[in-house]
Amino acid sequence: MIAKDKISSLREELNNLSETNLSIAEQGILQFIKEQVDKEEELVSNFDKSTSENNYDKAISDFFQLIQRTNLMYAYIMQPSVLSMLSNEKFSKIVQDLLDCISQIISDVVLTFKHNMKQFGLDNVNVNITSNPPSISISLAIKNA
């Protein structure tokens, strides 16, 4: 998965960001983002592992958690108090990279579903992306459900 490389790169970028130049509010936001990226990375690894082990029920469960966490990060990042901090160039780059990473994760998972519909027991996958409020909605039509 391309997302695994992107999320590792993002985590390294987050760890290299010096908190001394950030305000207390920015430090809190950075800490939240770090925690979410760690969890997202764990879920991506779990999804990938479950898929490679043909444990499709677990993979779908991991996927649902990924979507929930993704929507949580979208909602958090789009808060006015967070958006106002994007004037900090380093912080702005982190948020942009986070959004790119989240999009790649969802793309990788949807493509995994697309190429393994039969194994996952799926009839159909629909993706809906809304901009206000920002969220991703994915519906899975499960066979014989």
CB-side exposure of 69: number of CA atoms within 13 Å? 25
71 neighbors 136 (Cβ within 8 angstroms): yes
Question: Comparing 59 with 129, which gets the higher pLDDT?
Answer: 59
Give me 94's structure tokens. Answer: 């982190």
53 neighbors 46 (Cβ within 8 angstroms): no
pLDDT confidence bin for 79, thresholds 50/70/90: confident
CA–CA dist 105, 68 (Å, integer): 13
pLDDT confidence bin for 64, thresholds 50/70/90: very high
pLDDT confidence bin for 48, thresholds 50/70/90: very high
Over range 124-142, report the average pLDDT: 85
